[in-house]
A and B are shown apart, each in its own frame.
Chain A
Amino acid sequence: MSNMYPDNRGRFGSFGGKFVPETLMYALEELEQSLEEAQADTDFMEEYKHTLSEYAGRSTPLTYAKRLTEKTGGARIYLKREDLLHTGAHKLNNAIGQALLAKRMGKQKVVAETGAGQHGVATATVCARLGLECKVFMGEEDMRRQALNVFRMELLGAEVVPANSGSKTLKDATNEAIRYWVANVGDTFYLIGSVVGPHPYPKMVRDFQRIIGDETKEQFGQQYGALPDAITACVGGGSNAMGMFYPFLEDDVRLYGAEAAGLGVDTDQHAATITKGTKGIIHGSLTYLMQDENGQIIEPYSISAGLDYPGIGPEHAYLAESGRVMYEGVTDQQALDALSLLTKTEGILPAVESAHALHLAMEKAKEMTSEQSMIICLSGRGDKDVHSIKEAMKKESLSHE
């Protein structure tokens, strides 16, 4: 049964594990034990749920997309509205859970990595709320591209530290955050933003994100007295997808993961880790990743800063290998077109990450009947992307002239 994973070695089948320097092993053991205790503590879980509802704005609605359904033709399309969560994306669910755990463990300092800045903003937000000290590592290149989010984090009282190593993006920000953690492991909690990293992170982040799938199941069930036929979510590291999929793994529901295919999976400009990657170790976990034949990690590309990660959560690797979830690539252009369509038909501007899921879901919905249903995890809102969408569309119209 997939619900039994991870096993006591932190493995999902052959994936996962703890491939980290010895300095961190004790901290991971300590975290594993604290997490187990916290999850068994009803007061802790109450506080987590209470914070999600009173502070973050849960539950988020499940919206029927009537005009998009008509336009697409095929299955009825529903949107799980994580875009309406405080700070604008699903990231906050996990940040709240982990920050409460940090506090429970007596750690006053939090360190995090961020790519586009969404996880950084979510972490800075909850740290402000709980009075924790917050340091966020961000690639220097990403800081330039997402200057507004840097300012947002600083407004929230966080210190944003530029990661100058490697290609100066998410992968390197993660390396720097881990290096910082290694040096300050005594009083610092590392708050990872996705279902990646060494055990118990992939499990912990999944458990703090499963609220998405649990709510969806309840909401859809209440309305229709049944399960949906299919669900689609986008996958970078894969936290919104894992949170959405997890409660449905044992059910007869088709699950689709949309990976970033960038300029196309046949070019070298993409982040389609499962479609094109191979098995290996990244950030402490055995999973699929993009690497050369010598095991050197390759920098991925996607228009979406939230999806351009060279690895993927180990549980996704396992679900791909077992065939339970189907993963397909969606290009920049397909995502942008889907984004425009949703904006015009429903008045919802999705994050460019979520637009990847949108495209794949529409493709699948077309092959389904109008009696069937397709739920899309709309993981975040697109306000943060307006500038880059404008640039991309300007480029596109120029190339058509």
Chain B
Amino acid sequence: MNRLTVYEAAHNADYPLFIPFIMAGDPTRSATVDLALQLQEAGAHILELGIPYSDPLADGPVLQRSAKRALQQGMSLKSAMDLIPEMRKRGLTIPVVVFTYYNPVFQMGMESFLETANEKGADGVLVPDLPFEESQDFTALAKDYQLANISLVAPTSTTRVHKIASHAEGFLYCVSSLGVTGTREVFPQEAYDFIHTVKEHSAVPVAVGFGISKPEHVQSLSGICSGVIVGSAIMKLVEKHANELAAGEEKKKEALQEIKTFVSTLISS
């Protein structure tokens, strides 16, 4: 059964879902597995596993650099999904969403990708450059493999919000503000009004992403949405500790601890 369905009921939960993003293979394969478990331990509810891509159009500099490091490790869509069973074996029980651009999926073959994602223990997929109009076949096929296709809405979605939100599965990824992924100092006021509109149309939890990097951001969203997605802020720390995370157990432990502390602060805020 799809592990995300548990959260679909959490639509109006009073605690926000915490959804961290990590890039598969940055800085190494084994560090990615360690990070996943640390994040679960810190209280993460859903894990977004990013697949590195050469031309990540929706990403800012932090995730671009992260993808580059992962690609240098030889990471691919297939080998990234191989990490999920390793995570599961070590005790990862939270749902995993595979985040990938469409071209690697296209090369692997849509069905082969979804079949593998299901086999390896993923619960959802998210393809940022496969908008609603291009995703009908993909979403239907994903369902056959018990995978939720996570949709995105953006502040520019305007008249599109209803059709996207009413078809949403798993959770609805609400892009907080225009632009690419990356940390932002402040949240625009319009974001809150936008989130309200999205919630009215959505039958699944609305999680807000893009730019969330500080406890204040999480605080300001509590009670407003059902979840927060944090990617760049975590991968920035991974970048800072890339050498330690790729080094021996002792050094790795310290770095993982620091990341865990950061995430715990975000979650408890």
Asked if A and B are interacting partners, one says yes
Q: Give the B-binding residues of A (Cβ under 8 A).
A: 9, 17-27, 165-166, 171, 175, 178-179, 182-186, 278-284, 286, 291, 293-297
Cross-chain contact of A185 among B55, B152, B153, B178 (Cβ < 8 A): B178
Cross-chain contact of B175 among A22, A26, A184 (Cβ < 8 A): A22
Known: A20-B129, A183-B178. Is A294-B76 also a contact (CB below 8 A)? yes
Q: Is there contact, CB below 8 Å, between B178 and A18? A: no
Q: Is there contact, CB below 8 Å, between A295 and B77? A: yes
Cross-chain contact of A26 among B61, B103, B129, B157 (Cβ < 8 A): B157
Which residue from chain A places its CB closest to the CB of B164 in the assembled complex? A22
Would you mind naming 11 contact pairs between A and B with Cβ atoms under 8 Å apart? A18-B134, A20-B129, A21-B152, A25-B133, A165-B64, A166-B54, A182-B180, A184-B178, A281-B106, A295-B103, A297-B54
Known: A179-B180, A294-B77, A295-B108. Is A19-B160 also a contact (CB below 8 A)? no
Known: A281-B129, A284-B129. Is A22-B180 also a contact (CB below 8 A)? no
Residues from chain B with a CB closer than 8 A to the CB of A166 are: 54-55
Known: A294-B76, A297-B54. Is A23-B178 also a contact (CB below 8 A)? yes
Residues from chain A with a CB closer than 8 A to the CB of B157 are: 22, 25-26
Q: Is there contact, CB below 8 Å, between B55 and A18? A: no
Residues from chain A with a CB closer than 8 A to the CB of B76 are: 294, 296
Known: A185-B178, A280-B103. Is A297-B55 also a contact (CB below 8 A)? yes
B 73-91 to A, binary, CB cutoff 8 A, 1 in contact else 0: 0001110000000000000
Cross-chain contact of B55 among A9, A175, A279, A293 (Cβ < 8 A): A175
Residues from chain A with a CB closer than 8 A to the CB of B103 are: 280-282, 291, 295, 297
Residues from chain B with a CB closer than 8 A to the CB of A171 are: 55
> Counting chain B CB atoms within 10 Å of each CB, which of A21, A175, A279, A283 scores highest?
A21
Q: What is the distance, in angstroms, from B103's C-beta to the closest C-beta of chain A? A: 4
Q: What is the distance, in angstroms, from A168's C-beta to the closest C-beta of chain B? A: 13
Q: Is there contact, CB below 8 Å, between A295 and B106? A: yes
Provide the bound-state CA to CA distance between A175 and B131, in Å.
Answer: 18
Q: Is there contact, CB below 8 Å, between B156 and A294? A: no
In the complex, B224 has a CB within 8 A of chain A: no
Nearest 6 interchain pairs by C-beta: A183-B179, A295-B107, A295-B104, A294-B76, A23-B154, A296-B54
In the complex, B246 has a CB within 8 A of chain A: no
Provide the bound-state CA to CA distance between A175 and B60, in Å.
Answer: 11
In the complex, B130 has a CB within 8 A of chain A: yes
In the complex, B140 has a CB within 8 A of chain A: no
Which residue from chain A places its CB closest to the CB of B79 in the assembled complex? A294
Known: A165-B64, A296-B104. Is A185-B156 also a contact (CB below 8 A)? yes
Which residue from chain B places its CB closest to the CB of A10 in the assembled complex? B133
15 further interface pairs, Cβ-Cβ under 8 Å (given A21-B152, A22-B151): A19-B131, A20-B57, A21-B131, A22-B164, A22-B175, A23-B58, A23-B155, A26-B158, A175-B55, A182-B57, A185-B178, A278-B107, A280-B106, A296-B54, A297-B55
Residues from chain A with a CB closer than 8 A to the CB of B178 are: 23, 182-186
Q: Is there contact, CB below 8 Å, between A21 and B55? A: no
Residues from chain B with a CB closer than 8 A to the CB of A22 are: 128, 131-132, 151-154, 156-157, 160, 164, 175
Chain B residues 212-256 with CB under 8 Å of chain A are: none
Residues from chain A with a CB closer than 8 A to the CB of B132 are: 22, 25
Q: Is there contact, CB below 8 Å, between B104 and A179? A: no
Provide the bound-state CA to CA distance between A175 and B56, in Å.
Answer: 8
Which residue from chain A places its CB closest to the CB of B129 in the assembled complex? A19
Q: What is the distance, in angstroms, from A298's C-beta to the closest C-beta of chain B? A: 8
Cross-chain contact of B128 among A21, A178, A291, A296 (Cβ < 8 A): A21
Provide the bound-state CA to CA distance between A19 and B101, in Å.
Answer: 10
In the complex, B159 has a CB within 8 A of chain A: yes
B 161-185 to A, binary, CB cutoff 8 A, 1 in contact else 0: 0001000000000010011100000
Q: Is there contact, CB below 8 Å, between A280 and B107? A: yes
Q: Is there contact, CB below 8 Å, between B156 and A27? A: yes
> Counting chain A CB atoms within 10 Å of each CB, which of B151, B154, B164 scores highest?
B154
